Amino acid sequence: MKRKIVIILATIIMLAAAFAFYAHETNLFRKWYVKYYTGQTLLDNRNYHLQLDTVRVIRTKLCNENAPGDSQRNAFIAAINNRIIPYWYGTPWSFNGMTQMPNEGSVACGYFVTTVLRDIGVPIDRVKLAQCASEAMIKALINPKYIFHFPEHYDLDSFNAQLTQLGNGVYIVGLDTHTGFINVSSDGNWFIHSSGRFPQMVLKEKVTESKVLSNSKYKVVGKISADDDFLARWIANEN
């Protein structure tokens, strides 16, 4: 009887150890955590460089074909939303975070924005722009006619409605002490940022449900995907 109990206990311990090893190797618990709190899937960052290579090929093709502005715009929106940003979901936030690889280390809000832009092929000084005030960063990247300020009294519903009027595309948003991307699309308006609020990670949330947006009196957005000069620099990878 005792021998059977020992065998059963040993088997349980071995199974538990095997599961713990599997969970560690596959990042299982963190995947569950990210999925539960953000609704996003934690992707394998070992594939990130393949996405960067694909975007580089897309840019080169657009440049060689002298593609029109709308083609550049659609390619940029698709690349940033489908190939770059998804790998960053779940990356931990910290005030001094400067990681250059999604889900390794941590990333502050400004460094999240500038690293994504650099990785998609925008020729920028990642560190210098990340340390700027958010409006200064926006002005350094985007033509003034695509930059929009919002009154302090705007609630989130009004802000969201105005974004919808400005049209589909990718925006950089500057807040009191924060920055991130806003994606306006037929699927809704989404705020994508490295959040210092719980759960303190890169996440995607509806504009109308964001406490970070709601708490900020100051809001400025730059519609980066509307700026043809910016897009031309992107495909040419020129300052």
Q: Smallest Cα–Cα separation from 112: which of 158, 80, 145, 150?
A: 80
Give the pLDDT of residue 18: 54
- Output DSSP code: residue 143: -
Q: Which residues of the chain have pLDDT under 70?
A: 1-2, 6-12, 14-29, 238-239
Burial class from Cβ neighbours inside 10 Å (0-12, 13-18, 19+) for residue 16 reads exposed
Give the pLDDT of residue 238: 58
Pairing type for strands 219-223 and 202-206 reads unpaired
Give the pLDDT of residue 239: 46
Give the pLDDT of residue 189: 97
The pLDDT tens digits of the residues spanning 15-28 come to 555 545 544 455 66
Peptide bond before residue 92 is cis, with ω within 30 degrees of 0: no
Three-class secondary structure of residue 180 per DSSP: strand
Give the pLDDT of residue 126: 94
The number of beta carbons lying within 10 Å of the beta carbon of residue 107 is 29
